[in-house]
Amino acid sequence: MTVALSLAWRDGVVALRRSLAVSLALLAFANAQDGSAPTGDNTGRHTYSCDATNNALSVETSYKKHLNGSADVLFSVVPGVGTHLFRYRGAWMQLKRERQTQMMPGPVDGRPFETLSITTLARDKHLFPVLLEEARQLYAEAEQGAMVVHTAMGTTWQRFGPPRTKRDLHSVILDDGVAERIEKDIKSFMHRSQWYRERGLPYRRGYLLHGPPGSGKSSFIQALAASLNYDLAIMNLSQRGMMDDKLNHLLLNAPGRSFILLEDIDAAFNKRVQTSSDGYQSGVTFSGLLNALDGVASAEERILFMTTNHLDRLDPALIRPGRIDVAELIDDASPSQTRKLFLRFYEGERDEAELERAANEIAQLVEENAGRGRRISMAALQGHFIRHPIDTVVQSKGELFP
């Protein structure tokens, strides 16, 4: 009789709970690999978890890096593994954090799989969307003004370091009209998705920036992505373990709203021969790369950039229209670039007329040497301006062409 009453009571409680309470399950990956050992992710955070008991807490360590390289260490207490009660907008909620022992594949390989369950009374279930939206907004505010760089790890994409401060597009000085043409083309593409679909065209765009080292190709791509509120996903075709199927999988599952960047594509493939600096031969074939770029199973809604220092080393099949839609030369410093870079570096340090004279003198030197076949990269020019203050920059101009 007692057992029957006990079972009836238990079943009644379960039925009452089901009728009066509602739960929201969230899938997540933990920051720590186990409950005690600290491990870090690419965002500069570490989690030190207590024992998995009720109301356990975890100490989360975050690192805030400054532009000068220093960092502040901040600590915050967060719910650990276990069950927690909290109030949200007047409603009591129960948070249950459970961690699995097995490692799950996904964007953070090698970390435990977690389930977060939030339970509240059925009358308060309308607060779930409000709670999730508030969490999303807080996350977006923390990421505001920063750009996330992703890198391919195995078959997944992972963040590469903490979010980076967005670089002003006008801080990367290209030759007259080059930046404007690329920016105009990419903005036009971003607003024509319906136009592509109506004509049965794959909605993707490929860009090739070619030119000598130090001319600002990668810097411009990073600044362009930041100006359009895009992130950057960088892929290395010579990565050990990279195969055709992995390459295709990564391109199909690239992070949302990101530019995909294949840097120094000439170093990976030289006239259809896969190469690497140390002689390692990866499993990516030239035909596999072409199929990943525009084959039947290739991704859509994609913006892809390639860079190369040697355009002549690229196979025509790789850069034909449909795979590369826009190709632009990013060359060594021109007189116009030199003048603009000088004025940007020394703006406000002298009166306008004096700065103009000095800028024109440096630009004339660059033009004269270009006529003799002697060029200087934007990186070398920038390094000279960094080393020399306005007082000595003109007197030391001979260092530019020793």
**pLDDT of 15-71, one tens digit each?**
555 556 666 666 654 433 333 333 334 344 444 333 333 457 777 666 666 555 566
User: What is the Cα–Cα distance from 221 to 306, expressed in whole angstroms?
Assistant: 10
Q: 16 lies in a domain?
A: no
Segment 317-341, tens digit of pLDDT = 999 988 999 999 999 999 999 999 9
Closest CA to 165 of 225, 207, 206: 225
Please answer whether residues 8 and 98 qualify as being in contact, where contact means their C-beta atoms are separated by less than 8 angstroms.
no
- Predicted local confidence at residue 208, as pLDDT: 96
- Predicted local confidence at residue 112, as pLDDT: 64
152 in helix, strand or coil? strand
Please answer whether residues 222 and 179 qualify as being in contact, where contact means their C-beta atoms are separated by less than 8 angstroms.
no
User: Is residue 361 domain-shared with residue 322, that is, in the same domain?
Assistant: no
242 in helix, strand or coil? coil
User: Is residue 173 domain-shared with residue 314, that is, in the same domain?
Assistant: yes
Q: What's the domain range around 104? A: 22-123
User: Is residue 312 domain-shared with residue 282, that is, in the same domain?
Assistant: yes
What is the pLDDT of the chain when averaged over all its residues?
80
Q: 14 lies in a domain?
A: no
Q: Name the token pair of 346.
A: 């020394």
- Predicted local confidence at residue 38, as pLDDT: 34
- Predicted local confidence at residue 191, as pLDDT: 92
Percent of the chain with pLDDT over 70: 74
User: Is residue 110 domain-shared with residue 76, that is, in the same domain?
Assistant: yes
User: Is residue 156 domain-shared with residue 110, that is, in the same domain?
Assistant: no
User: Is residue 95 domain-shared with residue 162, that is, in the same domain?
Assistant: no
User: Is residue 83 domain-shared with residue 202, that is, in the same domain?
Assistant: no
User: What is the Cα–Cα distance from 85 to 128, expressed in whole angstroms?
Assistant: 15
Residue 104 clears pLDDT 60, i.e. is over it: no
Judged on CB neighbours under 10 Å (0-12, 13-18, 19+), 160 is middle
Q: 145 lies in a domain?
A: no
Please answer whether residues 225 and 199 qualify as being in contact, where contact means their C-beta atoms are separated by less than 8 angstroms.
no
- Predicted local confidence at residue 47, as pLDDT: 40
Question: pTM for the full model?
Answer: 0.72
- Predicted local confidence at residue 236, as pLDDT: 86
- Predicted local confidence at residue 138, as pLDDT: 81
Give the pLDDT mean for 272-301: 70
Q: Name the token pair of 163.
A: 């979010």
Q: 10 lies in a domain?
A: no
Tell me which of 275, 306, 329 is where a domain ends: 329
Q: 13 lies in a domain?
A: no
- Predicted local confidence at residue 192, as pLDDT: 93
User: Is residue 244 domain-shared with residue 348, that is, in the same domain?
Assistant: no
Tell me which of 295, 312, 329 is where a domain ends: 329
Segment 338-369, tens digit of pLDDT = 999 999 999 989 889 999 999 999 999 999 99
- Predicted local confidence at residue 41, as pLDDT: 40
Residue 275 clears pLDDT 90, i.e. is over it: no
User: Is residue 342 domain-shared with residue 306, that is, in the same domain?
Assistant: no
pLDDT winner (highest mean) among 94-98, 206-210, 309-313: 206-210
Q: What is the chain's alpha carbon radius of gyration, rounded to the nearest angstrom?
A: 28
User: Is residue 281 domain-shared with residue 156, that is, in the same domain?
Assistant: yes
Please answer whether residues 262 and 305 qualify as being in contact, where contact means their C-beta atoms are separated by less than 8 angstroms.
yes
Residue 311 clears pLDDT 80, i.e. is over it: yes
Q: 17 lies in a domain?
A: no
User: Is residue 184 domain-shared with residue 105, that is, in the same domain?
Assistant: no
Q: 304 lies in a domain?
A: yes
User: Is residue 196 domain-shared with residue 235, that is, in the same domain?
Assistant: yes
Beta strands in 90-170 (DSSP E): 91-103, 112-121, 146-147, 149-153, 156-159, 164-165
- Predicted local confidence at residue 225, as pLDDT: 94
- Predicted local confidence at residue 54, as pLDDT: 47
Q: 132 lies in a domain?
A: no
Q: 11 pLDDT band (50/70/90 cuts)? A: low
Residue 269 clears pLDDT 80, i.e. is over it: no
Number of structural domains the chain divides into: 3
Segment 113-167, tens digit of pLDDT = 778 888 888 888 888 899 889 888 887 776 667 888 999 888 888 888 778 888 8
Q: What is the number of helices (H) and of strands (E) in the chain?
A: 11, 19
Tell me which of 88, 107, 123 is where a domain ends: 123
Residue 170's domain is classified under what CATH number?
3.40.50.300
Residue 282 clears pLDDT 70, i.e. is over it: no
Residue 171 clears pLDDT 80, i.e. is over it: yes
